[in-house]
């Protein structure tokens, strides 16, 4: 839940890229790659993923918190899957 909230906050903060024409050529790297263009010339060409890059560039604390919460989710899923696997094997072997 925390990860989804932080992702929404980062996405909102990164949407500021649409109004910041100066940063289009420096921050909208994925838009250039996905559209096959050399320079972004309109807000419609900006990829949603570039919002996260802009947010990481200008609001690093929120981006770091989002990454940490994502790693926590991955670790929790790994431990959950591992514990279920061990419980199934407990009949035959000890983990």
Q: Which domain holds residue 66?
A: 2-89
**Quick one: average pLDDT of 6-19?**
92
61, part of any domain: yes
Report angle CA 83, 87, 90 to the nearest 5 degrees. Answer: 130
Question: Is residue 21 predicted with pLDDT exceeding 80?
Answer: yes
Report how many domains make up the chain.
1
The most distant pair of C-alpha atoms in the chain lies apart, rounded to whole Å, by 63
Residue that wins the pLDDT comparison between 92 and 48? 48
pLDDT band, residue 5 (cuts 50/70/90): very high
Alpha-carbon distance of 25 to 41, in angstroms, equals 9
Within a domain: 95: no
Nearest to 25 by CA among 5, 10, 46: 46
Whether 62 and 9 have beta carbons less than 8 Å apart is answered as yes
pLDDT digits (tens, 9 = 90+) for 52-85: 999 999 999 999 999 999 999 999 999 999 988 8
- Which tokens belong to 56? 């990481």
Under the banding of pLDDT at 50, 70 and 90, the label for residue 44 is: confident
Question: How much is the mean pLDDT over the chain?
Answer: 87
In a domain, residue 63? The reply is: yes
Specify if 94 maps to a domain. no
Residue in this structure with the two tokens 């250039």, named with its chain if needed = 32
User: By C-alpha distance, which of 74, 80, 53, 55 is closest to 3?
Assistant: 74
């Amino acid at each position: 839940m925390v990860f989804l909230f932080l992702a929404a906050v980062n996405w909102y903060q990164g949407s500021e890229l649409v109004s910041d024409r100066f940063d289009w050529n420096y921050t909208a790297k994925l838009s250039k790659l996905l559209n096959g263009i050399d320079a972004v010339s309109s807000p419609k060409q900006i990829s949603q993923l570039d919002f996260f890059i802009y947010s990481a560039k200008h609001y690093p604390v929120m981006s770091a918190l989002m990454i940490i919460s994502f790693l926590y989710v991955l670790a929790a899923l790994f431990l959950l899957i591992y514990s279920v696997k061990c419980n199934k094997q407990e009949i035959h072997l000890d983990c």
